[in-house]
């Protein structure tokens, strides 16, 4: 045996010995008990996913006070029944949800029952969040546990009698709450199902776009048919009527842009929907925005009434002429002589459902207070409309809104100075 050969054998033997020692050690090393597994910090991936989903659910919009710390709650939520104060959902052990388990968080999301057994008021959209899968709920939980804890005590609600009695919620839940995760419809595409899951679940679109009755409930048979948003005095258009925001004539790109960009060739979001796009929908992936668009476009049309014939001839000619002159002077530079707009910068008014839909509230408020589309990742420098509350009196606002609702073949109805006056009394919001 040569020296070199002997060395080689030695090295080989040494390697074998080391390998055996490593195997033995690895077998002998104590293992973490399986019960400890959940205490291991959630992986970055799960937290990222949770952050994405928490945005899709727009948790931050309600659970953060203007200028307050993120998710620390305290924000007053005015309802027709009195003020609710949104709770702290940061992981502070004492004042937040820091000591909750993932099971307890899922039960709250899924059933609307809080950790201590309290029934939640349906201002928390658990009637939508019940559709969220356990895996998604766990991801949101992991994300919320990862944000900075904020010590801030929850403020008690200020609901009027009898609504301050939570036992009433048992009745509300019987009438309006259907518990259950989203069940895929095998007859539809995966994309449609993904869209349905987001719209019906985390997106909680029904909270505004399905009318709420005097008991604060909404009926499934009227899903997405639109309604006034309580206490905000904006009208959430029907998503099923082509006369409102029904999307029968829109292409998928226009719908997904409106959701994710905040503006498209047909119009821009404003009011409460601008907030939703700014805080939530702009962060959706292109795939998810498109899935929502596919689902929304496929909602079965449900016309409450036949579209009206054009009413331009029925409007008082003097009103029409005032409206036309004001439009030419103040509006046409952006929205065009024929109401075609300069989309997507300045939306068209001709054929724009949000102008012609039966409620004129949004058009009147926009003329009074103006508005900017939200600044989003895909449209960080949106165009905006100035307020005219100080330029036009009630008759002039009524005339110009009447004009844009009936001109160019638009199918809207005239509005009165009195309607304008009511909305002028409200603060812009």
Partner 1 sequence: MRTRTILRLLVAALTTAPATALSQEATVPAFRQLDSIEARVQGCVTCHGHNGQGAGNGIFPRIAAKPAGYLYNQLIAFRDGSRQYAPMNYLVAYLPDRYLHEMADYFASQRPPFPPREAVNVEAAILARGQALVTNGDASKAIPACVACHGSGLTGMNPGIPGLVGLRASYITAQLTRWRVNERHATEPDCMRRIASRLSDADVTAAAAWLAARDPPRDPSPESSNLVRMPFACGSQR
Judged by beta carbon, residue 228 or residue 391, the one nearer partner 1 is: 391
Distance CA 89, CA 98 (A): 8
To the nearest whole angstrom, how small is the minimum distance from the Cβ of residue 121 to partner 1? 25
Q: What's the token pair of residue 67? A: 């200028």
How are strands ordered across the β-sheet holding 158-159?
76-79, 82-85, 158-159
What is the maximum span of the chain, computed from C-alpha positions, in angstroms? 117
Contact in structure between 343 and 336 (CB atoms under 8 Å): no
> How far apart (Å, rounded) are the C-alpha atoms in residues 183 and 283?
25
- At closest approach, how far in Å is the CB of 179 from partner 1? 34
Residues 269, 257 contacting (CB under 8 angstroms): no
d(CA 235, CA 226): 7
Query: By CB under 8 A, is residue 388 in contact with partner 1?
Result: yes
Please state at what angle helix 394-406 crosses helix 361-369, rounded to 10 degrees.
Answer: 130
Q: Which stretch binds partner 1 (CB under 8 A): 111-119, 177-185, 237-245, 384-392?
A: 384-392
Here the tokens at position 323 are: 């409206």
Cβ proximity to partner 1, 201 vs 271, nearer residue: 271
Task: Provide the minimum distance between the beta carbon of 67 and partner 1 in the complex, in angstroms, as a whole number.
Answer: 5
Binding residue (CB under 8 A) for partner 1 from 120, 159, 215, 334: 334
Quick check: 67 binds partner 1 (CB under 8 A)? yes
**The tokens of 288 are what?**
């998810």
Q: Does 391 bind partner 1 (CB under 8 A)?
A: yes
The answer to whether residue 97 forms part of the interface with partner 1 (CB under 8 A) is no
Any contact of residue 425 with partner 1 (CB under 8 A)? Answer: no
Instruction: Tell me how far apart the alpha carbons of residues 62 and 69 are, in angstroms, rounded to a whole number.
Output: 12
167 binds partner 1 (CB under 8 A): no
Closest approach of partner 1 to the CB of residue 399, in Å: 12
Binder among 50, 149, 201, 371 for partner 1 (CB under 8 A): 371
Report DSSP state, residue 99: T
Question: Which of 95, 111, 265, 330 touches partner 1 by CB under 8 A?
Answer: 330
C-alpha span between 303 and 64 (Å, rounded)? 38
Assess 333 for contact with partner 1 (CB under 8 A).
yes
Please identify which residue in 250, 278, 295, 403 interacts with partner 1, judged by CB under 8 A. 278
The Cα-based distances of 100 to 110, 166, 223, 307 in angstroms read: 15, 22, 33, 52
Which of 198, 326, 415, 423 forms a contact with partner 1 (CB under 8 A)? 326
For position 417 contacting partner 1 by CB under 8 A, the verdict is: no
Report residue 167 as tokens.
């036992």
109 forms part of the interface with partner 1 (CB under 8 A): no
Instruction: Kindly state the tokens that stand for 175.
Output: 């009438």
Report the nearest approach of partner 1 to the CB of residue 355 (Å): 18
Residue of 268, 227, 253 whose CA lies nearest to 355? 268
Helix (H) or strand (E) holding 158: strand 158-159
Size of the site for partner 1 (CB under 8 A): 39
Q: Which of 372, 413, 417, 421 binds partner 1 (CB under 8 A)?
A: 372
Binding site for partner 1 (CB under 8 A): 66-67, 274-275, 277-278, 325-326, 328-334, 342, 345, 369-375, 380-391, 427-429
């Amino acid at each position: 045996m040569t020296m070199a050969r002997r060395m080689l054998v030695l090295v080989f033997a040494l390697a074998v010995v080391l390998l055996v020692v490593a195997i033995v050690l690895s077998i002998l090393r104590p293992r973490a008990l399986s019960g400890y597994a959940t205490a291991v910090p959630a992986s970055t991936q799960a937290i990222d996913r949770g952050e994405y989903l928490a945005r899709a659910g727009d948790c931050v919009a309600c659970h953060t006070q203007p200028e307050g710390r993120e998710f620390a709650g305290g924000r007053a939520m005015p309802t027709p029944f009195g003020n609710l104060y949104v709770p702290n959902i940061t992981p502070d052990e004492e004042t937040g949800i820091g000591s909750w388990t993932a099971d307890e968080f899922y039960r709250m999301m899924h059933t609307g029952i809080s950790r201590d057994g309290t029934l939640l008021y349906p201002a928390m959209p658990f009637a939508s969040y019940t559709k969220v899968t356990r895996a998604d709920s766990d991801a949101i939980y992991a994300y919320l546990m990862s944000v900075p804890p904020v010590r801030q005590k929850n403020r008690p609600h200020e609901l009027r009698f009898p609504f301050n009695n939570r036992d009433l919620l048992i009745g509300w839940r019987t009438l309006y709450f259907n518990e259950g995760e989203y069940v895929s419809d095998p007859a539809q595409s995966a994309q449609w199902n993904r869209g349905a899951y987001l719209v019906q679940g985390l997106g909680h679109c029904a909270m505004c776009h399905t009318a709420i009755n005097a008991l604060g409930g909404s009926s499934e048979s009227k899903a997405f048919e639109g309604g006034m948003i309580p206490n905000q005095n904006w009208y959430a258009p029907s998503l099923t009527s082509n006369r409102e925001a029904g999307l029968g004539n829109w292409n998928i790109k226009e719908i997904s842009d409106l959701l994710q960009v905040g503006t498209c060739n047909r119009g821009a979001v404003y009011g409460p929907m601008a907030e939703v796009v700014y805080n939530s929908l702009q962060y959706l992936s292109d795939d998810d925005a498109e899935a929502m668009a596919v689902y929304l476009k496929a909602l079965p049309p449900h016309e409450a009434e036949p579209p009206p014939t054009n009413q331009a001839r029925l409007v008082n000619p003097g009103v029409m002429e005032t409206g036309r002159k004001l439009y030419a002077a103040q509006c046409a530079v952006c929205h065009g002589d024929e109401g075609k707009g300069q989309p997507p910068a300045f939306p068209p008014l001709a054929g724009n459902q949000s102008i012609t839909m039966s409620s004129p509230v949004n058009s009147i408020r926009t003329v009074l207070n103006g508005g900017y589309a939200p600044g989003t990742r895909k449209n960080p420098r949106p165009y905006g409309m100035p307020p005219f509350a100080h330029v036009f009196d009630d008759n002039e606002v009524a005339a110009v809104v009447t004009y844009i609702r009936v001109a160019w073949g638009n199918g809207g109805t005239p509005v009165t100075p009195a309607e304008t006056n009511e909305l002028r009394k409200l603060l812009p919001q």
